[in-house]
């Protein structure tokens, strides 16, 4: 099992969620987050004072799936989240050692 974490622009939330549902992704966690990457934010002026805004709103999708489905998921995310501009986001892939459903104590695939 793998955990795919995608951090994308907030305006891609509905587009990507709809694409994932259409692709029969069985479950996902979506979180609104803030962070910064290479763009390091931007400068604005507030009441005549320069203010550095270095935390940028993003949306994080987390999906656990079989290893052989990871590349298809990555391709789908890139297809629907890419604008070609700085700040499109990142995709991270992590190994998942175990999943436990708290209510029933089912493990791994049965827990998903």
CA distance 37 to 94: 20
User: Is the pLDDT confidence value at 24 over 80?
Assistant: yes
For 84, which DSSP code?
A: S
**pLDDT for 63:** 97
- Residues of the chain with pLDDT > 90, as a percent, come to 71
* Domains contained in the chain, CATH given: 2-111 (3.30.70.120)
pLDDT at 47: 83
Instruction: Say whether 69 sits in a helix, a strand or coil.
Output: helix
> Is it the case that residue 30 has pLDDT exceeding 70?
yes
Check: CB of residue 62 under 8 Å from CB of residue 28: yes
Tell me what pLDDT residue 26 has: 81
**DSSP letter (8 states) at residue 100:** B
Q: How far apart are CA 54 and CA 36, in angstroms?
A: 6
Q: What is the total residue count of the chain?
A: 112
Whether the per-residue pLDDT at 3 is higher than 80: the answer is yes
**Are residues 108 and 2 in contact, defined by beta-carbon separation less than 8 angstroms?**
no
Distance CA 102, CA 7 (A): 27
Q: What is residue 70's predicted lDDT score, i.e. its pLDDT?
A: 96
pLDDT tens track for 58-105:
999 999 999 999 999 999 999 999 999 888 999 999 999 999 999 999
Is the pTM of the predicted complex or chain greater than 0.85?
no
Q: Is the pLDDT of residue 45 over 80?
A: no
């Amino acid at each position: 099992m793998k955990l795919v974490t995608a951090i994308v622009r907030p305006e891609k939330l509905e587009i990507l969620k709809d694409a994932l549902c259409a692709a029969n992704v069985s479950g996902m966690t979506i979180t609104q987050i803030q962070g910064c990457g290479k763009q390091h934010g931007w400068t604005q002026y507030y009441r005549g004072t320069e203010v550095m805004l270095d935390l940028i709103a993003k949306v994080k999708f987390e999906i656990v799936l079989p290893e052989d489905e990871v590349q298809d998921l990555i391709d789908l995310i890139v297809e629907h989240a890419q604008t070609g501009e700085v700040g499109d986001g990142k995709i991270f892939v992590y190994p998942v050692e175990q999943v436990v459903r708290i209510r029933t104590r089912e493990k791994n695939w049965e827990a998903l």
